[in-house]
């Protein structure tokens, strides 16, 4: 009987899913609005914004996935834009993998297609996306007693946009 209780109790822990609330930053398009934001001294119809969201899965990989998750801006009935995350809008995939040398994040441009209503250069979209990624990870590691190395790669470029690979970088987050 005791063994059965222990088995049942341990089964509850094995199947448990942990939901965590985290501050996430995303590159948001402001198309469909009448405002622009300053980015590197230029007005752009996009900005990096943050909000609290619930994540599930391995950390920090789940945070990276949240940066690239769909996002609809709430607003009045007259605002009908169904998607605001520039990564989703432009078909840019963002993946993360934790390894011995730290976290590797990959922006894959293989399916890149900037919609006509998004009047932004691809470089600006990626820079906003990388800022979102960095801000999210800095927020997460702010209270950590460790330093995490983050490598960011840009893959899936074509001959036409191969120069975007120069945005690949490495940075550290945490204490």
pLDDT digits (tens, 9 = 90+) for 27-43: 999 999 999 999 999 99
Tokens of 58: 């391995």
pLDDT at 158 (0 to 100): 94
pLDDT above 70 (res 11): no
Residues 6+ apart with CB under 8 A from 169: 130, 151, 152
- pLDDT > 90 fraction of the chain, expressed in percent and rounded: 79
Alpha carbons 117 and 140: distance in angstroms, whole number:
33
pLDDT in tens, 113-126: 999 999 999 999 99
- Taking the C-alpha atoms of residue 52 and residue 136, their distance in angstroms, rounded to an integer, is 11
Beta strands per DSSP E along the chain: 19-29, 37-39, 42-44, 46-56, 93-99, 102-108, 147-155, 169-174
Residue 52: pLDDT above 50?
yes
Task: List Cβ neighbours of 139 (8 Å cut-off, separation of 6 or more).
Answer: 22, 23, 25, 50
**Predicted pLDDT at 145:** 87
- Tell me the backbone φ, ψ of residue 66, rounded to 5 degrees: -65, -30
What token pair was written down for 24?
């996430």
> How sure is the predictor about 2, in pLDDT bands with cuts at 50, 70 and 90?
low
Could you tell me the CA-to-CA distances from 20 to 96, 130, 148, 167, 174 in Å, in that order?
18, 23, 20, 31, 19
Contact 66, 135 (CB under 8 A): no
The confidence band for 1, taking pLDDT boundaries of 50, 70 and 90, is: low
pLDDT tens-digit series, residues 133-148: 999 999 999 988 899 9
**pTM score > 0.75 for this model?**
yes
pLDDT digits (tens, 9 = 90+) for 62-111: 999 999 999 998 889 998 899 999 999 999 999 999 999 999 999 999 99
**Domain locations along the chain:** 18-174
């Amino acid at each position: 009987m005791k063994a059965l209780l222990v088995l049942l109790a341990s089964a509850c822990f094995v199947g448990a899913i942990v939901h965590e609330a985290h501050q996430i930053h995303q590159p948001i398009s402001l198309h469909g609005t009448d405002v622009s934001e300053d980015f590197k001294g230029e007005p752009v119809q996009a900005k990096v914004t943050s909000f609290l969201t619930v994540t599930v899965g391995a950390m920090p990989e789940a945070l990276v996935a949240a940066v690239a998750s769909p996002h609809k801006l709430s607003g009045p009935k007259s605002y009908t834009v169904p998607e605001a995350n520039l990564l989703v809008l432009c078909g840019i995939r963002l993946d993360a993998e934790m390894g011995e040398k730290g976290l590797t994040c990959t922006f894959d441009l293989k399916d890149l297609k900037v919609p006509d209503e998004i009047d932004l250069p691809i470089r600006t979209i990626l820079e906003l996306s990388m800022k979102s990624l960095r801000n999210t990870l800095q927020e997460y590691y702010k209270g950590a007693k460790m330093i995490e190395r983050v490598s960011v790669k840009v893959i899936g470029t074509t001959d036409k946009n191969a120069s975007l690979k120069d945005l690949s970088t490495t940075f550290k987050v945490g204490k």
